[in-house]
Chains A and B, each alone.
Chain A
Amino acid sequence: MSWDFYEEFIKEIRRKLKELEDEVSNTLGIFPKDDLDEAVIEPLTSIRETPDCIIVSVDMPFVDPNTVEVKLIDSSSLQIIAHIKEDISSSIIDSTYPKMTFKKYKKNIKLPVKVKKIIRISMRGEILAVYLSKYS
């Protein structure tokens, strides 16, 4: 076998490992990545897969449901932005944060499989549910 084969093989393994790392970080990140410069909270998210669709739910306490924006950036990533009804003090988010108020939620979500389009969006209390159809 040629050296090129091994080089390609190693590249492929590295690519797969990077994908795995992104997936683990997306679903199992230990700490939320809030943006202190933009006063943005990263919400908790959960992804469930059915045979036909992907259901993404996003927990946004104190959200103003009329301000929720959902955007399919490409076939494998979704962006959620929403405003908070009342400003939230940093003291209830993380005591290491400087004194400030948070006004918005934002999260870019990497989807586990490629999707066609958003088929339904619903708010259940303060939890957003986005239904996306999968490629068959």
Chain B
Amino acid sequence: MHEIIWIDRKNLMRSKLADKPLYVALPDTGLVSLITATHIIQSQGATLLGFLDADWIPPITLVTKGDPSPPIKIYSTDTLNIFLSETPLPPSLWRLYAQVTYQTLTHLSSTLIISGTGIPNPKRLDIQSIDELRVFYLGKYLETEGINQEIRDKYNTSEKFTGSLAGPYSSIINYLIRENTPFITILVDSYLDYPDPESAAKLILELNSLLNINIDINKLLEKGSEIRLMARQLAIQTRRQNILSGQKTGSPPVGIYI
């Protein structure tokens, strides 16, 4: 059982009419997508549109300065809607989460899902500048009517990913393929075991370029050490859930050789 509870219907209607892409974030490799979403929400003064109520959500409440909220929420900025889980979900719930992501997209009348996550690079330690972090794209159904031509052009000129992708984003991608829904997923070099604010900053630069927006990353980089310290526990929990799935991102699909 799950239900989206809308708490700001006025802004929900505005978001529907504006047809903004839906950015999907949840804890995954390097907490890259979560740190990215949190920075966008804070720096852009995002509006909380609603939250997800479900009997399968882990029993946790997020409290900021005395203000409690459920862990899975929907926000809106001028340019993006954001579907965010602040708690890691066990692999058994990834498929359900993918379904809810798709429902959220249809509720918001968005035509495109954008997501981003870390790609665990064993040599990440040797990369000291965010300019050197590699970025890969994958996507589908971008020729669908309603997708901005600039987004298509940016996608077409980007470096594409080849390999297996494991984790919650795989469940989301597989579900979107089933529903013929346009999506773009951006992968950025990241630490496997540590929160990686620098990778998140790189992902924001890619979103800036893809969506022609201008989100500043300086504060995120300045707060990098603090974020890594605060997110220690979440990084461990997330890594644990990903290991339990028994899959690993990286190895190329055998089919490409045939």
Contact = CB atoms under 8 A, between A and B. Distances in A.
Interface of A: 28-32, 41, 43-46, 48, 57, 59, 61-62, 88, 92-94, 124-127, 129
Interface in B213-258: 224-226, 228-230, 232-233, 235-237, 239-240, 243
Contact of B229 (A45, A46, A93, A127): A93
B233 A127 contact: no
Q: From DSSP, what is the main secondary structure of chain A's interface residues? A: mixed
B42 interface: no
Given A62-B225, A124-B125, A127-B125, A46 B194 contact: yes
A57 B125 contact: yes
Contact of B230 (A30, A92, A126, A129): A92
Contact of A124 (B126, B230, B232, B240): B126
Nearest to A88: B229
7 contacts: A46-B192, A46-B193, A59-B191, A59-B228, A61-B226, A92-B230, A124-B125
B236 A30 contact: yes
B235 to A, nearest CB: 6
A121 B235 CA distance: 25
A28 B237 CA distance: 8
Contacts of A43: 232
Nearest to B63: A95
A77 B217 CA distance: 39
B157 interface: no
Interface of B: 122, 125-126, 128, 191-194, 224-226, 228-230, 232-233, 235-237, 239-240, 243
B120 to A, nearest CB: 10
B235 A48 contact: no
A127 B194 contact: yes
Nearest to B240: A28
Instruction: Provide the main secondary structure of the chain B interface.
Output: helix
Contacts of A127: 125, 194
Contact of A129 (B125, B228, B243): B125
B199 to A, nearest CB: 13
B153 to A, nearest CB: 35
Contacts of A62: 225, 229
A61 B229 contact: yes
Most chain B C-beta atoms within 10 Å of own C-beta, residue among A59, A62, A126: A59
A44 B237 CA distance: 12
A92 B243 CA distance: 27
A124 B225 contact: no
Contacts of A93: 229-230
A29 B243 CA distance: 12
B194 to A, nearest CB: 4
A32 B236 contact: yes
Contact of B233 (A28, A31, A45, A125): A31
Contacts of B243: 28
Contacts of A31: 233, 236
A28 to B, nearest CB: 5
Contact of B225 (A28, A32, A126, A129): A126
B88 to A, nearest CB: 11
B121 to A, nearest CB: 11
